[in-house]
Amino acid sequence: MMWRLALRTVRARLGSYLASAGVIIAGTALLTAFAALAETGLADPSGEAESLTILAAIMGGWTVVIVAFGVVSAVALVIQQRERELALLRSIGTSTAQLRRAVLAETIAIALPAVVVGALPGVWLGAFLLDRVVDAGVVSAGIELVTTWRTPTAGAAVSLLSAALAAAIVGRRAAGVAPVLALAESADGPGRSPVTRAKLLVATGFLAVGLGAGIGTLFMSNGPMLAAAAGPACIGIAIGLTLLSPAVVATAGRAAAWVPSSVGRLAVRNLSARAARASTVVGPLVLLVGIATGTLYMQSTEDSTLGTARRTNDMGPQFAAANYLVVAMIIMFCVIAVTNTLIAATRNRRREFGLLRLTASTRPQVLGVVAVESTVSAGIAVVLGTIAAAVTAVPYSIVKTGSPIPSGPLWMYLAIAGGAFLVALAATVLPTLRATRVRPIAALTT
Protein backbone atom coordinates (compact mmCIF):
# COMPACT_ATOMS: atom_id res chain seq x y z
CA MET A 1 0.00 0.00 0.00
CA MET A 2 2.78 2.43 0.97
CA TRP A 3 4.77 1.71 -2.17
CA ARG A 4 1.73 2.13 -4.42
CA LEU A 5 1.05 5.52 -2.84
CA ALA A 6 4.73 6.46 -3.20
CA LEU A 7 4.80 5.55 -6.90
CA ARG A 8 1.61 7.52 -7.56
CA THR A 9 3.06 10.56 -5.80
CA VAL A 10 6.29 10.32 -7.79
CA ARG A 11 4.31 10.02 -11.02
CA ALA A 12 2.21 13.07 -10.14
CA ARG A 13 5.27 15.20 -9.32
CA LEU A 14 7.64 13.66 -11.84
CA GLY A 15 9.17 16.98 -12.90
CA SER A 16 10.40 17.81 -9.39
CA TYR A 17 11.62 14.28 -8.70
CA LEU A 18 13.53 14.12 -11.98
CA ALA A 19 15.71 16.98 -10.75
CA SER A 20 16.86 14.98 -7.73
CA ALA A 21 17.15 11.84 -9.89
CA GLY A 22 19.54 13.67 -12.22
CA VAL A 23 21.81 14.60 -9.30
CA ILE A 24 21.72 11.02 -7.99
CA ILE A 25 22.60 9.62 -11.42
CA ALA A 26 25.53 12.01 -11.87
CA GLY A 27 26.78 11.41 -8.34
CA THR A 28 26.58 7.63 -8.68
CA ALA A 29 28.47 7.73 -11.96
CA LEU A 30 31.26 9.87 -10.50
CA LEU A 31 31.62 7.73 -7.37
CA THR A 32 31.57 4.52 -9.40
CA ALA A 33 34.36 5.88 -11.58
CA PHE A 34 36.60 6.55 -8.57
CA ALA A 35 35.70 3.15 -7.11
CA ALA A 36 36.79 1.54 -10.38
CA LEU A 37 40.14 3.37 -10.27
CA ALA A 38 40.69 2.36 -6.64
CA GLU A 39 39.83 -1.28 -7.32
CA THR A 40 42.13 -1.33 -10.37
CA GLY A 41 45.01 0.01 -8.29
CA LEU A 42 44.46 -2.44 -5.46
CA ALA A 43 44.16 -5.39 -7.85
CA ASP A 44 47.55 -4.78 -9.48
CA PRO A 45 49.99 -7.31 -7.94
CA SER A 46 53.08 -5.56 -9.32
CA GLY A 47 52.45 -2.37 -7.37
CA GLU A 48 52.89 -0.24 -10.50
CA ALA A 49 49.38 1.18 -10.08
CA GLU A 50 50.02 2.46 -6.55
CA SER A 51 49.82 6.05 -7.81
CA LEU A 52 46.36 5.26 -9.19
CA THR A 53 45.21 4.05 -5.77
CA ILE A 54 46.54 7.19 -4.07
CA LEU A 55 44.86 9.46 -6.62
CA ALA A 56 41.54 7.63 -6.29
CA ALA A 57 41.70 7.61 -2.50
CA ILE A 58 42.47 11.34 -2.15
CA MET A 59 40.10 12.68 -4.80
CA GLY A 60 37.49 10.00 -4.18
CA GLY A 61 37.32 10.91 -0.50
CA TRP A 62 36.52 14.53 -1.35
CA THR A 63 33.99 13.37 -3.93
CA VAL A 64 32.07 11.24 -1.43
CA VAL A 65 31.40 14.32 0.72
CA ILE A 66 30.56 16.51 -2.29
CA VAL A 67 28.19 13.98 -3.85
CA ALA A 68 26.53 13.20 -0.54
CA PHE A 69 25.89 16.89 0.09
CA GLY A 70 24.62 17.42 -3.46
CA VAL A 71 22.20 14.50 -3.22
CA VAL A 72 20.97 15.58 0.22
CA SER A 73 20.35 19.14 -1.04
CA ALA A 74 18.44 17.96 -4.13
CA VAL A 75 16.24 15.51 -2.23
CA ALA A 76 15.67 18.01 0.58
CA LEU A 77 14.42 20.60 -1.90
CA VAL A 78 11.79 18.23 -3.33
CA ILE A 79 10.53 17.34 0.14
CA GLN A 80 10.45 20.99 1.26
CA GLN A 81 8.31 21.82 -1.76
CA ARG A 82 5.70 19.38 -0.41
CA GLU A 83 5.42 20.84 3.11
CA ARG A 84 1.93 22.25 2.51
CA GLU A 85 0.79 18.98 0.97
CA LEU A 86 2.15 17.00 3.92
CA ALA A 87 0.51 19.43 6.34
CA LEU A 88 -2.77 18.88 4.52
CA LEU A 89 -2.39 15.12 5.00
CA ARG A 90 -1.80 15.77 8.69
CA SER A 91 -5.04 17.75 8.84
CA ILE A 92 -7.06 14.73 7.65
CA GLY A 93 -5.66 12.41 10.29
CA THR A 94 -2.43 11.02 8.84
CA SER A 95 0.11 10.38 11.62
CA THR A 96 3.64 11.81 11.55
CA ALA A 97 5.08 8.28 11.41
CA GLN A 98 3.00 7.48 8.33
CA LEU A 99 4.15 10.70 6.65
CA ARG A 100 7.80 9.98 7.36
CA ARG A 101 7.46 6.47 5.93
CA ALA A 102 5.69 7.87 2.86
CA VAL A 103 8.45 10.43 2.24
CA LEU A 104 11.13 7.75 2.65
CA ALA A 105 9.29 5.39 0.28
CA GLU A 106 8.93 8.12 -2.37
CA THR A 107 12.62 8.98 -2.11
CA ILE A 108 13.72 5.35 -2.39
CA ALA A 109 11.31 4.86 -5.32
CA ILE A 110 13.14 7.54 -7.32
CA ALA A 111 16.64 6.85 -5.93
CA LEU A 112 16.78 3.11 -6.66
CA PRO A 113 16.31 3.42 -10.45
CA ALA A 114 18.64 6.45 -10.47
CA VAL A 115 21.57 4.59 -8.88
CA VAL A 116 21.08 1.69 -11.29
CA VAL A 117 21.10 4.07 -14.26
CA GLY A 118 24.19 5.87 -12.92
CA ALA A 119 26.27 2.74 -12.29
CA LEU A 120 26.83 1.73 -15.94
CA PRO A 121 28.11 5.11 -17.21
CA GLY A 122 30.20 5.23 -14.01
CA VAL A 123 32.16 2.16 -15.15
CA TRP A 124 32.63 3.75 -18.58
CA LEU A 125 33.76 6.99 -16.92
CA GLY A 126 36.25 5.01 -14.84
CA ALA A 127 37.72 3.51 -18.03
CA PHE A 128 37.91 6.98 -19.57
CA LEU A 129 39.73 8.38 -16.51
CA LEU A 130 42.14 5.43 -16.51
CA ASP A 131 43.02 6.05 -20.16
CA ARG A 132 43.67 9.73 -19.43
CA VAL A 133 45.79 8.87 -16.37
CA VAL A 134 47.83 6.44 -18.47
CA ASP A 135 48.26 9.08 -21.18
CA ALA A 136 49.46 11.54 -18.52
CA GLY A 137 52.09 9.05 -17.38
CA VAL A 138 50.83 8.61 -13.82
CA VAL A 139 50.71 4.82 -14.33
CA SER A 140 52.39 2.71 -16.95
CA ALA A 141 50.64 1.58 -20.10
CA GLY A 142 49.09 -1.86 -20.05
CA ILE A 143 47.11 -1.37 -16.84
CA GLU A 144 43.55 -2.53 -17.54
CA LEU A 145 40.44 -1.49 -15.66
CA VAL A 146 39.36 -4.01 -13.03
CA THR A 147 35.75 -3.94 -11.90
CA THR A 148 33.78 -6.36 -9.74
CA TRP A 149 30.42 -6.08 -8.00
CA ARG A 150 32.12 -3.84 -5.43
CA THR A 151 32.64 -1.03 -7.95
CA PRO A 152 29.01 -0.14 -8.74
CA THR A 153 27.93 -1.08 -5.21
CA ALA A 154 30.24 1.51 -3.66
CA GLY A 155 28.90 4.37 -5.80
CA ALA A 156 25.28 3.29 -5.49
CA ALA A 157 25.51 2.84 -1.72
CA VAL A 158 26.75 6.38 -1.05
CA SER A 159 24.08 7.96 -3.27
CA LEU A 160 21.28 5.77 -1.91
CA LEU A 161 22.24 6.32 1.73
CA SER A 162 22.52 10.08 1.14
CA ALA A 163 19.03 10.17 -0.37
CA ALA A 164 17.62 8.10 2.50
CA LEU A 165 19.34 10.36 5.05
CA ALA A 166 17.83 13.46 3.43
CA ALA A 167 14.39 11.84 3.41
CA ALA A 168 14.69 10.88 7.08
CA ILE A 169 15.88 14.30 8.27
CA VAL A 170 13.78 16.59 6.09
CA GLY A 171 10.79 14.22 6.19
CA ARG A 172 10.82 14.38 9.99
CA ARG A 173 10.83 18.18 9.89
CA ALA A 174 8.11 18.34 7.22
CA ALA A 175 5.92 15.88 9.11
CA GLY A 176 6.17 18.11 12.16
CA VAL A 177 4.72 21.14 10.35
CA ALA A 178 1.46 22.27 11.97
CA PRO A 179 -1.59 21.14 9.93
CA VAL A 180 -2.87 24.72 9.90
CA LEU A 181 -0.01 25.58 7.54
CA ALA A 182 -1.75 23.52 4.87
CA LEU A 183 -3.88 26.62 4.26
CA ALA A 184 -0.94 29.05 4.38
CA GLU A 185 0.94 30.31 1.36
CA SER A 186 4.33 29.65 2.89
CA ALA A 187 5.75 27.38 5.53
CA ASP A 188 8.28 30.03 6.34
CA GLY A 189 6.17 31.75 8.88
CA PRO A 190 6.89 35.21 10.25
CA GLY A 191 9.54 35.31 12.94
CA ARG A 192 10.82 31.87 11.98
CA SER A 193 14.59 31.68 12.21
CA PRO A 194 16.21 31.05 8.82
CA VAL A 195 18.84 28.83 10.49
CA THR A 196 17.58 26.11 12.83
CA ARG A 197 19.54 24.95 15.84
CA ALA A 198 20.32 21.64 14.12
CA LYS A 199 21.69 23.44 11.07
CA LEU A 200 23.77 25.70 13.30
CA LEU A 201 25.32 22.73 15.08
CA VAL A 202 26.09 20.87 11.84
CA ALA A 203 27.48 24.06 10.25
CA THR A 204 29.72 24.63 13.25
CA GLY A 205 31.07 21.11 12.90
CA PHE A 206 31.89 21.52 9.21
CA LEU A 207 33.47 24.94 9.80
CA ALA A 208 35.61 23.47 12.57
CA VAL A 209 36.77 20.66 10.27
CA GLY A 210 37.52 23.10 7.45
CA LEU A 211 39.41 25.56 9.65
CA GLY A 212 41.28 22.72 11.29
CA ALA A 213 42.38 21.38 7.90
CA GLY A 214 43.42 24.86 6.73
CA ILE A 215 45.36 25.70 9.88
CA GLY A 216 46.87 22.22 9.99
CA THR A 217 48.21 22.72 6.47
CA LEU A 218 50.43 25.56 7.75
CA PHE A 219 52.27 23.14 10.05
CA MET A 220 52.86 20.43 7.44
CA SER A 221 56.03 19.90 5.46
CA ASN A 222 56.12 20.59 1.74
CA GLY A 223 55.46 17.06 0.56
CA PRO A 224 53.06 14.90 -1.45
CA MET A 225 50.47 14.77 1.36
CA LEU A 226 50.12 18.56 1.55
CA ALA A 227 47.36 18.66 -1.06
CA ALA A 228 45.48 15.86 0.70
CA ALA A 229 45.46 17.95 3.90
CA ALA A 230 44.58 21.30 2.30
CA GLY A 231 41.89 20.06 -0.10
CA PRO A 232 39.18 19.18 2.46
CA ALA A 233 39.42 22.66 3.98
CA CYS A 234 37.43 24.39 1.22
CA ILE A 235 34.83 21.60 1.23
CA GLY A 236 34.25 21.83 4.98
CA ILE A 237 34.06 25.63 4.96
CA ALA A 238 31.82 25.67 1.87
CA ILE A 239 29.31 23.25 3.41
CA GLY A 240 29.37 25.11 6.72
CA LEU A 241 28.77 28.48 5.03
CA THR A 242 26.06 26.90 2.88
CA LEU A 243 24.12 25.88 5.98
CA LEU A 244 24.50 29.40 7.38
CA SER A 245 23.66 31.12 4.08
CA PRO A 246 19.96 31.66 4.95
CA ALA A 247 21.05 34.09 7.69
CA VAL A 248 23.16 35.98 5.15
CA VAL A 249 20.30 36.09 2.64
CA ALA A 250 17.86 37.27 5.32
CA THR A 251 19.95 40.41 5.85
CA ALA A 252 19.53 41.32 2.19
CA GLY A 253 16.02 42.58 2.94
CA ARG A 254 17.50 45.46 4.93
CA ALA A 255 19.03 46.84 1.75
CA ALA A 256 15.74 46.80 -0.17
CA ALA A 257 15.01 50.46 0.62
CA TRP A 258 18.19 51.54 -1.18
CA VAL A 259 17.39 49.63 -4.38
CA PRO A 260 16.36 52.22 -7.00
CA SER A 261 13.85 50.19 -9.04
CA SER A 262 10.56 48.72 -7.84
CA VAL A 263 11.38 45.41 -9.50
CA GLY A 264 14.69 45.27 -7.64
CA ARG A 265 13.08 46.11 -4.29
CA LEU A 266 10.47 43.40 -4.76
CA ALA A 267 13.15 40.87 -5.71
CA VAL A 268 15.34 41.63 -2.69
CA ARG A 269 12.41 41.53 -0.27
CA ASN A 270 11.12 38.31 -1.84
CA LEU A 271 14.55 36.70 -1.56
CA SER A 272 14.83 37.77 2.07
CA ALA A 273 11.36 36.39 2.86
CA ARG A 274 12.37 33.00 1.42
CA ALA A 275 15.71 32.96 3.26
CA ALA A 276 14.98 29.72 5.12
CA ARG A 277 15.12 27.85 1.79
CA ALA A 278 18.25 29.63 0.58
CA SER A 279 20.63 26.76 1.42
CA THR A 280 19.05 24.61 -1.31
CA VAL A 281 19.62 27.37 -3.90
CA VAL A 282 22.67 29.35 -2.75
CA GLY A 283 24.35 26.29 -1.28
CA PRO A 284 25.27 24.37 -4.45
CA LEU A 285 26.70 27.60 -5.92
CA VAL A 286 28.86 28.12 -2.81
CA LEU A 287 30.17 24.58 -3.17
CA LEU A 288 30.83 25.09 -6.88
CA VAL A 289 32.77 28.34 -6.42
CA GLY A 290 34.65 27.14 -3.33
CA ILE A 291 35.79 23.82 -4.78
CA ALA A 292 36.62 25.16 -8.23
CA THR A 293 38.57 28.16 -6.95
CA GLY A 294 40.32 26.34 -4.11
CA THR A 295 41.46 23.28 -6.04
CA LEU A 296 42.40 25.04 -9.27
CA TYR A 297 44.50 27.70 -7.53
CA MET A 298 46.05 25.05 -5.33
CA GLN A 299 47.10 23.14 -8.45
CA SER A 300 48.30 26.30 -10.25
CA THR A 301 50.47 27.09 -7.20
CA GLU A 302 51.88 23.56 -7.40
CA ASP A 303 52.57 24.08 -11.10
CA SER A 304 54.51 27.29 -10.40
CA THR A 305 56.80 25.52 -7.92
CA LEU A 306 57.40 22.68 -10.38
CA GLY A 307 58.44 25.21 -12.97
CA THR A 308 61.13 26.69 -10.71
CA ALA A 309 62.44 23.56 -9.01
CA ARG A 310 62.32 20.52 -11.30
CA ARG A 311 63.54 17.33 -9.65
CA THR A 312 64.74 14.06 -11.11
CA ASN A 313 61.97 11.53 -11.65
CA ASP A 314 59.46 14.14 -10.46
CA MET A 315 55.88 12.95 -10.98
CA GLY A 316 54.48 16.42 -10.37
CA PRO A 317 53.58 17.28 -13.98
CA GLN A 318 51.90 13.93 -14.50
CA PHE A 319 49.84 14.26 -11.33
CA ALA A 320 48.96 17.84 -12.29
CA ALA A 321 47.40 16.71 -15.55
CA ALA A 322 45.45 13.98 -13.77
CA ASN A 323 44.34 16.36 -11.01
CA TYR A 324 43.03 18.90 -13.51
CA LEU A 325 40.97 16.19 -15.19
CA VAL A 326 39.57 14.88 -11.92
CA VAL A 327 38.78 18.38 -10.66
CA ALA A 328 37.00 19.08 -13.96
CA MET A 329 34.81 16.01 -13.34
CA ILE A 330 33.96 17.17 -9.82
CA ILE A 331 33.17 20.68 -11.05
CA MET A 332 30.93 19.20 -13.74
CA PHE A 333 28.98 17.32 -11.08
CA CYS A 334 28.59 20.54 -9.09
CA VAL A 335 27.27 22.29 -12.21
CA ILE A 336 24.73 19.49 -12.75
CA ALA A 337 23.65 19.69 -9.10
CA VAL A 338 23.35 23.50 -9.22
CA THR A 339 21.39 23.48 -12.48
CA ASN A 340 18.96 20.74 -11.46
CA THR A 341 18.35 22.29 -8.04
CA LEU A 342 17.72 25.79 -9.41
CA ILE A 343 15.43 24.52 -12.17
CA ALA A 344 13.39 22.49 -9.67
CA ALA A 345 13.15 25.44 -7.29
CA THR A 346 12.01 27.78 -10.06
CA ARG A 347 9.46 25.35 -11.55
CA ASN A 348 7.78 25.15 -8.16
CA ARG A 349 7.09 28.92 -8.20
CA ARG A 350 4.54 28.89 -11.04
CA ARG A 351 1.68 29.72 -8.69
CA GLU A 352 3.68 32.65 -7.26
CA PHE A 353 4.37 33.97 -10.77
CA GLY A 354 0.66 33.70 -11.59
CA LEU A 355 -0.27 35.72 -8.50
CA LEU A 356 2.26 38.42 -9.39
CA ARG A 357 0.78 38.74 -12.87
CA LEU A 358 -2.77 38.87 -11.50
CA THR A 359 -1.71 41.78 -9.27
CA ALA A 360 -0.71 43.87 -12.32
CA SER A 361 2.90 42.73 -12.70
CA THR A 362 3.85 42.27 -16.35
CA ARG A 363 5.69 39.26 -17.68
CA PRO A 364 8.94 41.26 -18.17
CA GLN A 365 8.68 42.46 -14.58
CA VAL A 366 8.33 38.90 -13.29
CA LEU A 367 11.38 37.91 -15.33
CA GLY A 368 13.21 40.93 -13.92
CA VAL A 369 12.39 39.89 -10.35
CA VAL A 370 13.77 36.40 -10.94
CA ALA A 371 16.88 37.78 -12.66
CA VAL A 372 17.63 40.12 -9.75
CA GLU A 373 17.04 37.32 -7.22
CA SER A 374 19.42 35.06 -9.12
CA THR A 375 22.06 37.77 -9.41
CA VAL A 376 21.93 38.56 -5.68
CA SER A 377 21.99 34.83 -4.80
CA ALA A 378 24.96 34.23 -7.09
CA GLY A 379 26.76 37.27 -5.63
CA ILE A 380 26.32 35.93 -2.09
CA ALA A 381 27.47 32.48 -3.24
CA VAL A 382 30.59 33.91 -4.91
CA VAL A 383 31.56 35.79 -1.73
CA LEU A 384 31.01 32.77 0.52
CA GLY A 385 32.68 30.42 -1.98
CA THR A 386 35.71 32.70 -2.20
CA ILE A 387 36.07 32.62 1.59
CA ALA A 388 35.94 28.82 1.47
CA ALA A 389 38.53 28.68 -1.31
CA ALA A 390 40.88 31.00 0.58
CA VAL A 391 41.02 28.58 3.53
CA THR A 392 42.52 26.01 1.14
CA ALA A 393 44.55 28.09 -1.30
CA VAL A 394 46.19 30.56 1.12
CA PRO A 395 47.74 28.05 3.59
CA TYR A 396 48.80 25.83 0.69
CA SER A 397 50.48 28.79 -1.02
CA ILE A 398 52.26 29.86 2.19
CA VAL A 399 53.80 26.41 2.62
CA LYS A 400 54.66 26.05 -1.07
CA THR A 401 55.94 29.54 -1.91
CA GLY A 402 56.04 31.53 1.33
CA SER A 403 53.44 33.95 -0.04
CA PRO A 404 49.76 34.05 1.01
CA ILE A 405 48.77 34.96 -2.55
CA PRO A 406 48.24 31.78 -4.61
CA SER A 407 49.90 31.54 -7.99
CA GLY A 408 47.63 31.56 -11.01
CA PRO A 409 46.00 33.95 -13.44
CA LEU A 410 43.24 36.32 -12.34
CA TRP A 411 41.10 35.33 -15.32
CA MET A 412 40.65 31.86 -13.80
CA TYR A 413 38.84 33.30 -10.77
CA LEU A 414 36.83 35.69 -12.95
CA ALA A 415 35.80 32.77 -15.15
CA ILE A 416 34.63 30.75 -12.14
CA ALA A 417 32.67 33.69 -10.70
CA GLY A 418 31.22 34.55 -14.10
CA GLY A 419 30.27 30.92 -14.65
CA ALA A 420 28.40 30.89 -11.33
CA PHE A 421 26.37 33.95 -12.37
CA LEU A 422 25.72 32.46 -15.81
CA VAL A 423 24.53 29.11 -14.41
CA ALA A 424 22.30 30.82 -11.84
CA LEU A 425 20.67 33.07 -14.44
CA ALA A 426 20.24 30.36 -17.07
CA ALA A 427 18.78 27.85 -14.61
CA THR A 428 16.20 30.33 -13.25
CA VAL A 429 15.31 32.79 -15.99
CA LEU A 430 14.73 30.16 -18.68
CA PRO A 431 12.30 28.06 -16.56
CA THR A 432 10.56 31.31 -15.54
CA LEU A 433 10.22 32.28 -19.19
CA ARG A 434 8.50 28.97 -19.85
CA ALA A 435 6.37 29.10 -16.69
CA THR A 436 5.01 32.57 -17.52
CA ARG A 437 3.81 31.55 -20.97
CA VAL A 438 0.59 30.16 -19.50
CA ARG A 439 -2.29 32.41 -18.51
CA PRO A 440 -1.98 33.68 -14.90
CA ILE A 441 -5.29 32.13 -13.84
CA ALA A 442 -4.15 28.75 -15.21
CA ALA A 443 -0.92 28.96 -13.18
CA LEU A 444 -2.94 29.09 -9.97
CA THR A 445 -4.42 25.65 -10.65
CA THR A 446 -1.07 23.87 -11.21
Q: pLDDT 10s per residue in the chain (446 long)?
A: 556 666 677 676 776 778 888 889 999 999 999 888 888 888 877 666 677 777 777 777 778 888 888 888 888 887 777 777 777 777 777 777 777 888 888 888 888 999 999 988 999 998 888 888 787 777 777 778 888 888 889 889 989 998 888 888 877 776 666 666 555 544 454 455 677 788 889 899 999 999 999 999 999 888 767 877 788 899 899 999 988 888 888 887 777 777 778 788 888 887 877 776 666 668 788 988 998 899 889 888 887 876 555 544 455 555 666 667 777 888 888 888 888 888 888 887 888 888 888 887 888 888 988 898 889 889 999 999 999 999 999 999 999 888 999 988 999 999 999 999 999 999 889 888 888 887 777 766 65
pLDDT at position 308, please? Answer: 54
Q: Is residue 73 a contact partner of residue 278, using CB atoms and an 8 Å limit?
A: no
Q: Is the overall model pTM greater than 0.85, yes or no?
A: no
Closest by Cα among 295, 282, 261, 305 to 376: 282
The burial class, CB within 10 Å (0-12 / 13-18 / 19+), for 443 is: buried
Q: What is the Cα–Cα distance from 253 to 272, expressed in whole angstroms?
A: 5
Closest by Cα among 244, 235, 247 to 210: 235
The identity of residue 157, as a single letter, is: A
Q: What is the Cα–Cα distance from 250 to 277, expressed in whole angstroms?
A: 10
Q: Is residue 155 a contact partner of residue 64, using CB atoms and an 8 Å limit?
A: no
Phi/psi of residue 138, each to 5°? -70, -40
Q: What is the Cα–Cα distance from 247 to 102, expressed in whole angstroms?
A: 31
Phi/psi of residue 318, each to 5°? -65, -45
pLDDT at position 179, please? Answer: 66
pLDDT at position 192, please? Answer: 57
